[in-house]
Amino acid sequence: MAEAAERETKRSEMLTLCLPSLSEDDPLFSQKKDLVHGSDLTFKFQVPVPSNREEVFHIFEQIVRSARILYLDEVELYFMEDDDYGPFSCRNELESLNTILLMISSLISCAKPDGLEVLQILQNATVAMINSVGAKYTDYMVAKDFPVDAKELLKWGDSCGIRTKLKIAYFEEAGRGAVASEDIKIGDIALEVPESLIISEEHVRESDMFDVLKELDDVSSETMLLLWSMKERRNSNSKFKIYFKTLPEKFKTGLTFGIDALAALEGTLLFEELLQAKEHLRQQYDALCPTLFAKYPKIFPPELYTWDCYLWACELWYSNGMKIVCSDGKLRTCLVPVAGLLNHSLCPHVLRYGRVNSETKSLKFLVSRHCGEGEQCYLSYGSLPGSHLITFYGFLPKGDNPYDVIPLDFDVPSAENDSSCQSGEPARTSHMVRGTWLSKSSKPHTYGLSPPLLAHLRSILRSSDIELHAEFHGQDEETERAVLDTLISVFSPMLEGLGDTNEIDRENPSWDVKLALDYKDLLRRIICSVLDSCAAGIRELDLSLVQH
Ligand SMILES: C[S@@+](CC[C@H](N)C(=O)[O-])C[C@H]1O[C@@H](n2cnc3c(N)ncnc32)[C@H](O)[C@@H]1O
């Protein structure tokens, strides 16, 4: 008591902590703003100095909640349940906590003793929370050996100014990957690549093919890069000779799925997407390459511009390309030697790497969570669903991927959408479901489904004289049954449409058939979880009917 009174009289100052404010450029700006206001949160915090640990922890909780909102992405926001303050995903958690850490670090150097004590409590709490995010992710791959070609790449990189705390190992599940050669602490640079080693459209401009390509209509810089890489790959005088030498001769992505793997995917959206993507690339190739090597055989030698070579280049850029803001401020798709060896994880170490530092003229890969010596250092390829990862990268990540969603499009009844029906087509509204095991809500009548989907279905299915509610209200039981029946009527045929894959040899499947089967299993698991949740919802309604 006396201690508290003494602290109160000593309190003359306030420590102000500011998170970055919401950006109006954020497409989710207004939704996030509403969330912040609705939850009585803010991005500016005043901490009385001195404060005791409980007081600081109370404010810390508010700071974390606000930061999580700041970094919500579209899927996370869509599935956010009532009264859910997070965590929402590993990515969101690491982005939020690292921003908090930066905010604290910027204040520590000029803080007075009482303020410093508060900041240190906050810093320790943030680091502990980041460590606990990493500790929950235990799905480690085991390094098998250290490939010779990768050592050669690192040696070349070192001679060209690449600085790294990583070495390259081979993993059965993912091919090559990067491993920490020493402990890498939060905020440390795991890898630094000079801008001069980053492969971008600038290299096409410097090459002999640019004079031809610039005269052609409709050739995007992405296509130019494909054409450039097809030739550079075999150029014995290339500055990037070692880089190209260490790339796989064959990539294994959805774009090179064989006929059996495609057959195993029948009944899924991914099946259509893969066929369309490959068809699109084939059309691009046919429209461009035969003309180029017929007209300019010296610049575009036919043997380097086959369809297989074109597909190889597409797979290279899709699976290794990174969006980078270069020192001239332009956003480009680039290949970054050595960084291209980092594998993806749902709980990555490296999240923020998209901008060349204009002072050092280098791209720095800082870790957002601790990476212990010998541990694989993962990158985030983005918040991507399994279907995208299969198509462009050829794998499904381990663990629960919060971005694995099944889209659901509904026609909007005309009364609900008068203005957008001018085309004569019924307007559509898009929703999603994901595995209901990801839901944290224990509230009745939420079924592990997203609030916007339930609100939409309740609004279109509600019995005529009942007022519209986003949430279930006891009396509207008829609507509730209709919602659950509708979902069952959508998802039961979807499950049947996936067919039976039991007759496919699961003992010794090829890499692509295995991936196709794993993907179908994932879809089945999601759909079954929705059906189970709906069935449980109906049982609950039956029970409450009996009880009343
Ligand atoms: C940018 S490269 C990473 C280096 C690559 N492992 C190699 O050996 O060249 C991307 C490719 O790595 C593999 N990969 C990345 N993350 C993976 C993961 N979590 N599980 C399995 N394979 C992964 C996929 O083959 C993907 O197309």
- The pLDDT of residue 410 is 86
Report phi then psi at 34, rounded to 5.
Answer: -60, -40
- Is the distance from CB of 185 to CB of 370 less than 8 angstroms? yes
Nearest residue CA, atom 8 of ligand 1?
176
Asked whether residue 90 is assigned to any structural domain, the reply reads yes
> Among the three residues 77, 106, 136, which one is the final residue of a domain in this structure?
136
Lowest average pLDDT, out of 95-99, 295-299, 374-378, 442-446, goes to 442-446
Tell whether the model's pLDDT for residue 84 goes beyond 70: yes
- Residue 393 alpha carbon, nearest atom of ligand 1: 27
Ligand 1 close to Cβ of residue 344 (< 6 A): yes
Handedness of CA 355, 358, 359, 363 (dihedral sign): positive
- The pLDDT of residue 473 is 52
Ligand 1 close to Cβ of residue 364 (< 6 A): no
Band the pLDDT of 421: cuts 50, 70, 90. Answer: very low
Nearest residue CA, atom 21 of ligand 1?
174
Asked whether residue 526 is assigned to any structural domain, the reply reads yes
CATH number for 10: 3.90.1420.10
Tell whether the model's pLDDT for residue 417 goes beyond 80: no
Tell whether the model's pLDDT for residue 293 goes beyond 60: yes
- The pLDDT of residue 544 is 83
Q: Which residue has the higher pLDDT, 473 or 31?
A: 31
Ligand 1 close to Cβ of residue 392 (< 6 A): no
Q: From the CA of 342, how far away is ligand 1's center (Å)?
A: 7
Nearest residue CA, atom 13 of ligand 1?
174
Alpha-carbon 442 to chain mean position: 27
Q: From the CA of 341, how far away is ligand 1's center (Å)?
A: 7
DSSP string, 192-242: EEEGGG-B-HHHHHTSTTHHHHTTSTT--HHHHHHHHHHHHTT-TT-TTHH
> Among the three residues 136, 154, 173, which one is the final residue of a domain in this structure?
136
Ligand 1 close to Cβ of residue 122 (< 6 A): no
Band the pLDDT of 8: cuts 50, 70, 90. Answer: low
- Residue 397 alpha carbon, nearest atom of ligand 1: 19
Ligand 1 close to Cβ of residue 319 (< 6 A): yes
Q: Retrieve residue 90's tokens.
A: 């590993």
pLDDT tens per residue across span 175-184: 999 999 999 9
- The pLDDT of residue 327 is 95
Averaged over 11-20, what is the pLDDT? 88
pLDDT tens per residue across span 490-525: 999 999 999 876 666 677 899 999 999 999 999 999
Q: Average pLDDT, whole number, for the chain?
A: 91
Ligand 1 close to Cβ of residue 341 (< 6 A): yes
DSSP string, 340-400: GGPPB-SS-SB----BEETTTTEEEEE-SS-B-TTSBPPB---S--HHHHHHHT----SS-
- Residue 315 alpha carbon, nearest atom of ligand 1: 27
Tell whether the model's pLDDT for residue 424 goes beyond 60: no
- The pLDDT of residue 264 is 94
Alpha-helical regions (H) of 462-504: 477-497
DSSP string, 1-37: -HHHHHHHHH--EEEEEEPPPPPTTSTTHHHHHHHHH
Ligand 1 close to Cβ of residue 343 (< 6 A): yes
Averaged over 265-274, what is the pLDDT? 95
> Among the three residues 117, 136, 155, which one is the final residue of a domain in this structure?
136
- Is the distance from CB of 428 to CB of 416 less than 8 angstroms? no
What's the rounded Cα separation, in Å, for the pair 332 and 329?
9
Ligand 1 close to Cβ of residue 141 (< 6 A): no
Asked whether residue 385 is assigned to any structural domain, the reply reads no
- Residue 392 alpha carbon, nearest atom of ligand 1: 27
Q: Retrieve residue 177's tokens.
A: 């990957």
What's the rounded Cα separation, in Å, for the pair 468 and 78?
20
- The pLDDT of residue 216 is 87
Alpha-carbon 446 to chain mean position: 26
Report phi then psi at 267, rounded to 5.
Answer: 95, -5
- The pLDDT of residue 416 is 53
Asked whether residue 478 is assigned to any structural domain, the reply reads yes
Lowest average pLDDT, out of 202-216, 232-246, 288-302, 473-487, goes to 473-487
Q: From the CA of 472, how far away is ligand 1's center (Å)?
A: 45
- Is the distance from CB of 400 to CB of 393 less than 8 angstroms? no
Band the pLDDT of 144: cuts 50, 70, 90. Answer: confident
Candidates 180, 193, 198; CA nearest to 367 is 180
Ligand 1 close to Cβ of residue 317 (< 6 A): no
Nearest residue CA, atom 27 of ligand 1?
393
- Residue 398 alpha carbon, nearest atom of ligand 1: 19
What's the rounded Cα separation, in Å, for the pair 241 and 285?
25
Averaged over 151-155, what is the pLDDT? 93
Share of the chain above pLDDT 90, in %: 79
- Is the distance from CB of 240 to CB of 232 less than 8 angstroms? yes
Q: From the CA of 252, how far away is ligand 1's center (Å)?
A: 10
H helix or E strand, kind and range, residue 512: helix 511-547
- Residue 247 alpha carbon, nearest atom of ligand 1: 9
Averaged over 222-226, what is the pLDDT? 95
Q: From the CA of 361, how far away is ligand 1's center (Å)?
A: 27
Asked whether residue 172 is assigned to any structural domain, the reply reads no
Share of the chain above pLDDT 70, in %: 91
- Is the distance from CB of 340 to CB of 329 less than 8 angstroms? no
Nearest residue CA, atom 26 of ligand 1?
393
Ligand 1 close to Cβ of residue 393 (< 6 A): yes
What's the rounded Cα separation, in Å, for the pair 107 and 103?
7
Q: How many domains does the chain have?
A: 2
Which H, E and C letters describe 281-294, residue by residue? Answer: HHHHHHHHHHHHHH
Q: From the CA of 402, how far away is ligand 1's center (Å)?
A: 20
Q: Residue written as tokens 């005791």?
A: 52
Q: Retrieve residue 311's tokens.
A: 């597909």
Q: Residue written as tokens 């259509």?
A: 272
Asked whether residue 62 is assigned to any structural domain, the reply reads yes
Asked whether residue 17 is assigned to any structural domain, the reply reads yes
Mutate to test the pocket of ligand 1, among 252, 315, 395, 518 (most ligand atoms within 8 A of CB): 395
- The pLDDT of residue 501 is 67
SS3 60: helix
Which H, E and C letters describe 108-141, residue by residue? Answer: HCCCCHHHHHHHHHHHHHHHHHHHHHHHHCCCCC
What's the rounded Cα separation, in Å, for the pair 355 and 363?
7
- Residue 379 alpha carbon, nearest atom of ligand 1: 16
Candidates 74, 116, 113, 114; CA nearest to 92 is 74
Sheet of 163-164: strand order equals 163-164, 189-194, 362-366, 356-357
Task: Domain of residue 458: give its range.
Answer: 406-547
The neighbouring-strand residues paired with 191 are 164, 365
Alpha-carbon 513 to chain mean position: 25
SS3 433: strand
- The pLDDT of residue 347 is 95
Radius of gyration of the chain (CA): 27
- The pLDDT of residue 426 is 57
Tell whether the model's pLDDT for residue 265 goes beyond 70: yes
Asked whether residue 213 is assigned to any structural domain, the reply reads no
SS3 277: helix
Query: Would you give the end-to-end CA distance of the chain in angstroms?
Result: 52
Tell whether the model's pLDDT for residue 332 goes beyond 90: yes
Mutate to test the pocket of ligand 1, among 336, 344, 396, 518 (most ligand atoms within 8 A of CB): 344
Ligand 1 close to Cβ of residue 177 (< 6 A): yes
